[in-house]
Amino acid sequence: MNAVTEHNALTEPGAAGFLQRFEGLRARLPGRGLPWLEAMREAAAESFREQGFPTRRVEAWKYTDLAPLKEAGFGEALTPVDSAIPLPRAAAPRRVVFVDGRFSAELSDPDAPVRSLARHLDAAEGLLGSLARNDGVPLAALNTALFEDGALIDLADGEDGGIVEILSVVRADRPVALHPRHLVRLGAGAKLVLIERAWGHGESRYLHSPVLEFQVAADAHVTHVRIQQEARAGIHLSTVFAKVAEKGTYDSFLLHAGARLARAEAHVTLAGPFSAAHLDGAQLVGDGQHADCTTFLDHAAPDCPSRQTVKTVLAGRSRGVFQGKIHVHQIAQRTDGYQMNQALLLSDQAEIDSKPQLEIYADDVKCSHGATVGALDETQLFYLRSRGIPEAQARSMLIEAFLLDAVETVRDETARAALVEVVSGWWERTAA
């Protein structure tokens, strides 16, 4: 039996409930007896106690209200994993599966270069918490205090990790709160394509709040494709920290396609010259949903290119948020930055808030930015229908064209196919 025992009671609502949970669990959380980790958890809990959950008075949270999270209590997942759960089709040749936040050896491919963090915490010293900050990121602090398991990927210099999927499944039949922690380190020249899928099944409200830390050494290349497919009452709040050394790349694509309330936040630092990042994404936001893509990109070294294209499609009564901050440090001469965000509004009741933010302290810099918001083009729609294509299908074709244009930037074919599968037919499923 796992370290965490079964119990159904809900905590009280709000930050107090999560702190109460920490007090109740601390003696049984993985890593008990590792002084460095105990100290780290204590400090994180203390930081979360001071900060609480962000409110809309905090600038970075102006458009995303965590009220649905604060108003309810949450409980724990039941252990062990027993009932058979339906899983989505694997997107990559090798997949590891976490069920309700815990590694499932039974469902995972033993050949994947992924270990359970809970079972290898000794190997995580110096890596865990090397990038995640407590200050200003209370959700990361909460994760550090409460995480039970996650993926540990540590690639040696020159190692090719291939294409790997991490599937984190939530059985949403009770209001669970999950805080998985994934650590990824690529040695010099290493390579990895990581498809990270959050997937919920059930009708209950729940919180799924993963934190990922990526250390990308010189000349290493990582593609990180994130597919958020939470169940309809789920709350998804994820935070990524990445640091890229000289000539390394962090190419990421975020796809929001589920949850009632979703926010993905990324903090990426280009720390070495000629390092590069893609922070692309697409948000499919249907009636009653809220999706938020927030990124902080630090150009902290010279000669680095960065690219960001984020597309949002909104239907029904829904809200989308894009916040993209690019900070070009004084040392970061010859930065080449490009940012584009586009929204397609399919209803009068949909709303998009988009906030690009460029802070440039270097003088020899090329940074361009663009944004568009619009509805489907009536002329294009008529052109398709005049050829005999029914209206719903014509709309779907135009919406897909809008979205797939963003997905095109993902170079790995397997990762791209995984995205296309979710994007294709989204409108037909949504409108049905």
Partner 1 sequence: MLKIEGLRAEIDGKEILKGIDLEVPTGEIHAIMGPNGSGKSTLSYVLSGREGYEITGGSATFDGHDLLGMEPEERAAAGLFLAFQYPVELPGVGNANFMRTALNAQRRAKGEPELDAMQFLKLARARMKELSMPEDMLKRGVNVGFSGGEKKRNEVLQMALLKPAIAILDETDSGLDIDALKIVADGVNAMRGPDFSALVITHYQRLLDYIVPDRVHVLMDGRIARSGGPELAHQLEAEGYASVEAA
Residues at the contact surface with partner 1, assessed by CB under 8 A: 378-380, 382-391, 393-394, 397-398, 400-402, 404-405
Q: Which positions ≥6 away from 332 have C-beta within 8 Å?
A: 270, 299, 300, 301, 302, 304, 361, 362, 365
**Based on CB atoms, which residue is closest to partner 1, 261 or 398?**
398
Strand order in the sheet with 365-374: 102-104, 94-99, 160-171, 191-201, 221-229, 249-256, 276-285, 305-314, 335-345, 365-374
What does the alpha-carbon distance between residue 261 and residue 206 come to, in Å, rounded to a whole number? 10
CB of 207 to partner 1, least distance (A): 36
Query: How is residue 400 written in tokens?
Result: 């897909």
- Which of 292, 302, 162, 281 shows the shortest CA–CA distance to 227? 281
What does the alpha-carbon distance between residue 99 and residue 176 come to, in Å, rounded to a whole number? 12
CB burial of 270-284 (b: ≥16 within 10 Å; e: otherwise) equals: bbbbbbbbbbbbbbb
CB of 39 to partner 1, least distance (A): 52
**Based on CB atoms, which residue is closest to partner 1, 130 or 380?**
380
- Contact call for residues 31 and 40 (beta carbons, < 8 A): no
Q: Residues 54, 18, 184, 236: what is their CA dihedral angle, to the nearest 10 degrees?
A: -60
CB of 92 to partner 1, least distance (A): 26
**Based on CB atoms, which residue is closest to partner 1, 57 or 387?**
387
CB of 396 to partner 1, least distance (A): 10
Q: 3-state DSSP call for residue 380?
A: helix
State whether the Cα torsion 15-16-20-23 is positive or negative: positive
CB of 227 to partner 1, least distance (A): 20
CB of 321 to partner 1, least distance (A): 24
Beta strands in 73-147 (DSSP E): 94-99, 102-104, 115-116
**Based on CB atoms, which residue is closest to partner 1, 203 or 377?**
377
**Based on CB atoms, which residue is closest to partner 1, 145 or 423?**
423
**Based on CB atoms, which residue is closest to partner 1, 40 or 423?**
423
**Based on CB atoms, which residue is closest to partner 1, 111 or 377?**
377
Q: Which segments of 136-184 does DSSP mark as H helices, in order?
A: 138-146
CB of 251 to partner 1, least distance (A): 21
**Based on CB atoms, which residue is closest to partner 1, 58 or 392?**
392
CB of 411 to partner 1, least distance (A): 18
